[in-house]
């Protein structure tokens, strides 16, 4: 009855809830659902490290930073970076410059 995957046609939606936040990722049927759940968890941990207990207002008011984190983690649909320090270092440099 409780599952973090929803199948529709040739695709799956993998989702995870953190407090009041829902994170959804759409993938094809060949993708590993558990790997996507780990990716979502890594994204939330990275946001927590930067914002300190991330909430919807952090994402709403700093949407460009959330997108930048995703761009650092994913390239052409593949996860390319999993180190939180490497993901956050460009953002920290931008924060120091401004």
What's 29's DSSP letter?
T
pLDDT per position as a tens digit, 56-89: 999 999 999 999 999 999 999 899 999 999 999 9
* CATH class, 32-97 region: alpha beta
| Token pair 């649909």 in the structure block, residue | 77
Backbone angles phi, psi at 18, to 5 degrees: -125, 110
> What is the pLDDT averaged over residues 36-55?
95
**What's the mean pLDDT in 17-23?**
91
The domain ranges of the chain are: 32-97
């Amino acid at each position: 009855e409780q599952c973090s995957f929803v199948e529709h046609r040739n695709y799956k939606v993998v989702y995870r809830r953190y407090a009041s936040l829902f994170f959804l990722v759409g993938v094809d049927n060949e993708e590993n659902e558990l790997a996507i759940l780990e990716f979502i968890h890594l994204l939330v941990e990275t946001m927590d490290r930067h914002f300190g207990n991330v909430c919807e207002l952090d994402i709403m008011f700093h949407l460009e930073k959330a997108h930048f984190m995703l761009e650092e983690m994913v390239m052409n649909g593949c996860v390319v970076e999993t180190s939180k320090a490497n993901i956050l270092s460009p953002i920290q440099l931008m924060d120091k410059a401004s």
